[in-house]
Amino acid sequence: MRLTLLAAIAFAFPFFADAPAAAQDREPCPADLICASAPATVMAALEKAGLKPELSTDKTGDPLIASEEAAYRFEVSFYGCEKNEDCDSLRFEVQFQKEDNGTIALANKWNANHRFIQASVKDDGRFVMAYDLGTIGGINARNFQDSVDWWTSMLAEAGKFFEAEVGAKPAA
């Protein structure tokens, strides 16, 4: 049995050895879809959602969008980029100022009771909430709007959560 398994692994290895570690979105963004590979489509969709996005670049030169909702300033980072283009996913993220009550236990409590948005604590002690969205091949406007709705409603929910758990909304 063991020999058969080893033979199967040895046979399959050459087929997977050259496979890319992650998918890339090298195709043009299809018409009427939102793609991380086409930042203008993300900007337009956020504007249509009633937000006021600002496009810039991060420290590595990848696209970066900043906006505000529910009294929190957040960023939309572009991931899986190749030479600052052909990005394959987005990360909506809000980082809060470091406070003593922004603990791993608080993040775990949020994560245990909320879907979609993950809470964590960075090595430097900042509390972070994030939502990742893959866009390879494009996302239709309705699905993207639904994702933005989840993000913004969870930001509002986060404010209530912080008030209930620590007595105040943290500053972003």
Q: Return d(Cα 19, Cα 154) in angstroms, integer.
A: 37
pTM, 2 dp: 0.82
Q: Report in angstroms the alpha-carbon separations of 161 from 2, 74, 83, 169.
A: 52, 18, 39, 8
Written out in words, the top-level CATH class of the domain with range 24-166 is alpha beta
The DSSP letter of residue 37 is T
pLDDT truncated to tens, each residue of the chain (172 aa)? 554 444 444 444 444 444 444 556 678 999 999 999 999 999 999 999 999 999 999 999 999 999 998 789 999 999 999 999 999 999 999 999 888 888 999 999 999 999 889 999 999 999 999 999 999 999 999 999 999 999 999 999 998 999 899 887 666 6
Q: Buried b / exposed e across 83-103, counting CB within 10 Å, b at 16+? A: eebbbbbbebbbbbeebeebe
